[in-house]
Amino acid sequence: MSSTESVQDNPKGGTAIHDDKFEDVAHIESHHSGTVVNRNRNVSAKIQNPLTGVDRAQLYKLADEFCDTHGFQDKQDLFHRAAVLAQNPNDYESLSELTEDDKYWVRREYTNKWSQTRSLYFLVIVCSIGSAVQGWDNTGANGSNLSFPKEFGIEDNTWLVGLVNAAPSLIVGTISAPLCDPVNHYLGRRGAVFITGLFCVFPVLGQAFTRNWWELFICRCLIGLGMGVKITTIPIYTAETAPPSIRGALVMSFQLWVAFGIFFGFCSNLIFYRIGAIAWRVQLAAAFVPAIPVLLMCWFAPESPRWLMKKGRYQKAFASFCRLRFSEIQAARDMFYAHCQILEEMKAHQGTTYFTRLRDIFTKPRLRRANLASWTVMIGQQLCGINIMAFYSSTIFAEAGYNIRDSLLASFGFGLINTIFALPAIWTIDTFGRRNLLLLGFPLMALSLLWAGSMFFMDPANSARVPVLAVAIYLFTIAYSPTMGPCPFVYAAECYPLTHREIGMSFAVQQNNFWSSVLGLTFPSLLRALQPWGAFYFYAGTNILGLILIFFFMPETAQRTLEELDFVFAVPVGVFAKYQLSTWLPWWIKRYVLFRRDAKLEPLYHLEGVAGEGTRPERAH
């Protein structure tokens, strides 16, 4: 890195790094022992450490220039050791440059991966609580659907009922998700969480005082305005601060707390349904509760160090890394490694304005593939039909013959199971992998929905009809909660490079909520047109469609650093899809259908000097 690189104040706030820093990319790349893999077209499927092949003297020079440029002259020895460790992440025990204290802390990353700083867990908790509002709001609407249409005289207008329910998702899918990029650009991750938290308090409470359906619709639109930026920012914030080994588990806490919100919402529905005509108002307004602690605590969490580096605030970024890691060697290693990768990212994917960044995610091959993969997993969550259960499970049970109390109790069971079975994903999402979880979940969800739909052909007088229907829905939920539940937001938050992370995540969340609003808007009419059994069969079919999309278009991202994923998404879609169909699928059939233990899988990715070289090929395909 050139010592002449300058960092100047940005007139709109913060600092910006001059474009001449991109000259340093060539400075790093010129010292690779082999050809640097193109980040837009990685036909060979190689995942490279940007420091691979750099000799020790040049490595120290890069560290010295980094320190001189960013004001770390008093920590040159630390960054020398950090650079060596970043170059050789798997060989830390044999590196003579490292002190015994350095090796102790690095060793603990492998032997005690869940041992993390209080600041990291505090940040995760704050972000997670913020996501509970979304789940609680869904289930508040679930219970209120039994009452508010009658009070506002729209019980026979299924499109208006659907419109009111779908309002938050409709606004997220059309307006608020794209605002994530400018809001995060100017306010940072913490500022975005705070501002959007305000929209999760006042409009939520306002629902209790509405006098007609369109006032309720407006309040729910305002909820969606804040929700879009919030649910886009929180996974990014967590992903940028978590270590790779448990990043999936920590980011999935977002979805886990959505499940908690759903559960608490059903509890609230049961508690308040007997208080009379205002029950539905209290059920909707109660969702403001989780937002209060988020507003109070978010400023005590560390800011994302990668966002600070993006803004050129390296001193503050190092201080943030030190709060998030136990030792300075870990903080310096992560910062130096991220710095080297970010320089290459910004050279390959530089977008100077909002609209050029938006254009890039559709035109630049590496970004377009990440966009396709995140779109696939996001739309897959809607294809599986879970949001129909969240919004309309009480209505479905009422259609099957239950009264209001029993419908709410059956829905409470759905919320409880959704919460309990989301917990295993804390372990499986990083060990089993995101892709494998989804390939398992979709077939199981399809079978459960086929079973549920078949129950409507039973004699209504049969006392087993509704309980068996409930069991089928609960089995669907068990299949969903540890698979499609946590994966989409984890995946979308990590698959874009730092330069386009906000705009990419915005697009992914926009697509997720747009299709959620379509489903919420159309389901009452679909239920009336196809009957309940037809609606269940329809979503069983869309689960099969989701399985096919995941199989061909979603690469695995587990246990890769955010920077290494550049190379994963540089593999052309055709190369990836051909490998799945011609190599991985035949191997899977031989190994798990024919039970041939001698079946060998040729891995898709070939790793060069990265920390994941020991990853099992069958999990990382």
Compare 199 and 518 and report the one with higher pLDDT: 199
Question: From CA 279, how far away is CA 262, in angstroms rounded?
Answer: 18
CATH of the domain at 450: 1.20.1250.20
Whether 609 is covered by a domain: the verdict is: no
The residue among 208, 205, 213, 106 whose CA lies nearest residue 153 is: 213
Compute the CA torsion angle 187, 168, 361, 45 (nearest 10 deg).
Answer: 100
Whether 379 is covered by a domain: the verdict is: yes
pTM above 0.85, yes or no: no
Phi/psi for 249 (5° steps) reads -65, -40
pLDDT (0 to 100) of residue 37: 46
CA 19, 20, 24, 26 torsion-angle sign:
positive
Most confident range, picked from 11-15, 61-65, 285-289, 403-407: 61-65
CB 85 within 8 A of CB 106: yes
* Tally of structural domains, the chain: 1
Question: From CA 593, how far away is CA 604, in angstroms rounded?
Answer: 22
| Distance in angstroms between the alpha carbons of the first and the last residue of the chain | 35
Whether 519 is covered by a domain: the verdict is: yes
**For tokens 């997220």, what's the residue?**
172
What average pLDDT does the segment 264-278 reach? 83
pLDDT (0 to 100) of residue 85: 93
DSSP 444-470: HHHHHHHHHHHGGGS-TT-TTHHHHHH
Whether 511 is covered by a domain: the verdict is: yes
Question: From CA 331, how far away is CA 117, in angstroms rounded?
Answer: 12
**For tokens 């969550």, what's the residue?**
381
Strand partners, 15: 9
* Helix or strand run (H / E) with residue 293: helix 291-297
Q: Any idea which of 10-19, 57-66, 429-438, 486-495 has the lowest mean pLDDT?
A: 10-19
Residue type, 139: T
Split at pLDDT 50, 70, 90, the class of 563 is low
Per residue in 98-117, pLDDT (tens digit) is 999 999 999 999 899 889 99
Local structure of 81: helix, strand or coil: helix
Question: From CA 264, how far away is CA 139, in angstroms rounded?
Answer: 8
pLDDT above 60 for 306:
yes
Percentage of the chain beyond pLDDT 70 is 88
pLDDT (0 to 100) of residue 608: 58
Whether 305 is covered by a domain: the verdict is: yes
Per residue in 584-608, pLDDT (tens digit) is 999 999 988 999 888 888 888 776 5
CB 407 within 8 A of CB 566: no
Whether 360 is covered by a domain: the verdict is: yes
Residue span of the structural domain in which 439 resides: 118-553
CB 440 within 8 A of CB 483: yes
Whether 390 is covered by a domain: the verdict is: yes
What average pLDDT does the segment 77-98 reach? 92
CB 472 within 8 A of CB 445: no
pLDDT above 80 for 20:
no
Local structure of 7: helix, strand or coil: strand
Whether 169 is covered by a domain: the verdict is: yes
Local structure of 131: helix, strand or coil: helix
pLDDT (0 to 100) of residue 355: 83
